[in-house]
């Protein structure tokens, strides 16, 4: 039964962004994800939500090929992730890790230019097109003004935008973001996520983003996938997820909702 369903999902994978069939992930002594089937769509912004330890981060790491599943298969635009070359894959999918490394004395422009590595490689020339993509990415994220500043000296919000610029310079069709706002205050969270949404729609990108704040997620995502104990516990549009019974199921605490006074979008709160 499960196998048949998995097979049918894989068959239908041609125009899906991701199809996962029977994906499992284990660390010694613990199974983090077990037999996960999931299909994500092209052009959507997918929000991955769920409590700590539910396997969200592991899932996006597998999508971005940072981790390899123990069992099962992941297809990206119909192609098996295991078959893809490193640079070819990096030209199609850009990944923002949860913990960002120190940037080792680089200025903003140099750092964003690293996003062109998948295109020019180790010895290739840094072409006019590369330059143009970097400029465009810095322009769209509003970091052009401090292009010569050292990345390590920027504020948290600015640094996050610089990382987004690097991802955009990679010129991929898909962004995978692991908690892009965890270190930001509320105004910068909003700014960052609105920027992600605007740019994704403008550039026609598909996005998978891990978010902790359910209200933020509902605000910017087209679809929410809720994880719990390594399985999908709820999956649907924000309107379908933002219901007291579903939220109770996801977070295990009683939650209520009210309509946002200005926009009418449902807002969740803990009872």
Partner 1 sequence: MSLERLRPTSPALPATLLFVVLGVLAALLFGLQIVHDWPSPGDQLGGIILHYSTLPRGTVALLAGAALGLAGALMQRVLRNPIADPSTLGVVSGAQLAMSGALLYAPSLMAVAREGVAFVGGAFALFLVVALSWRRALDPITVVLSGMLISLIAVAFSSTLILANGEYMMSMFIWGGGSLEQQSWAPTTSLAIRLTLAAFVAVLLIRPLELLALDDANARALGLGVTGTRLAVLTLSVFLAASVTAEVGVIGFIGLAAPNLARMAGARGLRQILVVSPIAGALILLLTDGLVRLISLGISETVPTGAATALLGGPLLLWLLPRLGGSLRSTQQSVALATRVASWRLVLPGLLLLVLGVCALFIGKNGEGWAIATGQLFDLVAPWRAPRFIAAASAGAMLAATGVLMQRVTGNAMASPEVLGISSGAGVGFAAVLVFWPAASRVAELGGAAAGSVIAILLVIAISARHRFAAERFLLSGIAVGSLAGALVTVVMARGGPESMRLLNWLSGSTSRVAPEDAMMALAAAALFIAPLPLLARWLQVLPLGLPFAQSVGLKRSLAASILVLIAALLSAASTLFVGPLSFVGLMAPHMARLAGFARPIPQLAGAVLIGASLMVLADWMARTLAFPYQLPIGLVAAMVGGPYLIWLLNRR
Q: Judged by CB under 8 A, does residue 261 bind partner 1?
A: no
Window of 111-119, 136-144, 210-218, 246-254 that interacts with partner 1 by CB under 8 A: 111-119
Residue 57 beta carbon to partner 1: minimum distance, rounded to whole angstroms: 12
- Report the residue number, 6 or 177, with the smaller CB distance to partner 1: 177
Residue of 19, 54, 58, 103 interacting with partner 1 (CB under 8 A): 103
Residue 99 as a binder of partner 1 (CB under 8 A): the answer is: yes
Quick note: the x/- pattern for partner 1 over 25-64, rule CB under 8 A, is ---------------------------------------x
Q: Which of 24, 31, 66, 182 binds partner 1 (CB under 8 A)?
A: 66
CA 117 to chain centre: 20
What's the min distance (Å) between Cβ of 80 and partner 1?
17
What is the token pair recorded at 3? 């196998």
Tell which positions 154-183 bind partner 1, by CB under 8 A.
170
Q: Which residues bind partner 1 (CB under 8 A)?
A: 64-66, 85-91, 94-95, 97, 99, 101-107, 110, 114-115, 117-118, 122-123, 150, 152, 170
């Amino acid at each position: 039964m499960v196998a048949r369903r998995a097979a049918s999902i894989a068959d239908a994978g041609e125009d899906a962004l991701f199809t996962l069939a029977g994906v499992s992930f284990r660390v010694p002594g613990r199974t983090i994800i077990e037999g996960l089937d999931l299909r994500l769509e092209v052009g959507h912004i997918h929000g991955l939500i769920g409590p700590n330890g539910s396997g969200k981060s592991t899932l996006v790491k597998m999508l971005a090929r940072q981790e390899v599943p123990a069992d099962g298969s992941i297809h990206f635009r119909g192609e098996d992730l295991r078959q893809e070359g490193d640079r070819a894959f990096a030209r199609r999918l850009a990944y923002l890790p949860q913990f960002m490394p120190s940037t080792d004395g680089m200025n903003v422009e140099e750092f964003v230019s690293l996003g062109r590595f998948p295109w020019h490689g180790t010895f290739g020339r840094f072409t006019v097109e590369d330059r143009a993509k970097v400029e465009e990415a810095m322009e769209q994220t509003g970091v052009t003004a401090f292009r010569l500043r050292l990345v390590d000296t920027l504020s948290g919000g600015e640094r996050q935008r610089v990382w987004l610029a690097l991802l955009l310079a990679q010129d991929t069709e898909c962004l995978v973001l692991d908690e892009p706002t965890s270190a930001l205050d509320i105004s910068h969270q909003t700014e960052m996520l609105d920027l992600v949404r605007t740019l994704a729609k403008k550039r026609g990108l598909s996005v998978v983003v891990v978010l902790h704040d359910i209200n933020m997620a509902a605000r910017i995502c087209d679809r929410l996938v809720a994880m719990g104990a390594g399985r999908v516990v709820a999956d649907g549009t924000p309107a379908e997820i933002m219901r007291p019974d579903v939220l109770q199921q996801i977070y295990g605490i009683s939650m209520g909702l009210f309509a946002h006074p200005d926009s009418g979008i449902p807002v969740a709160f803990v009872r």
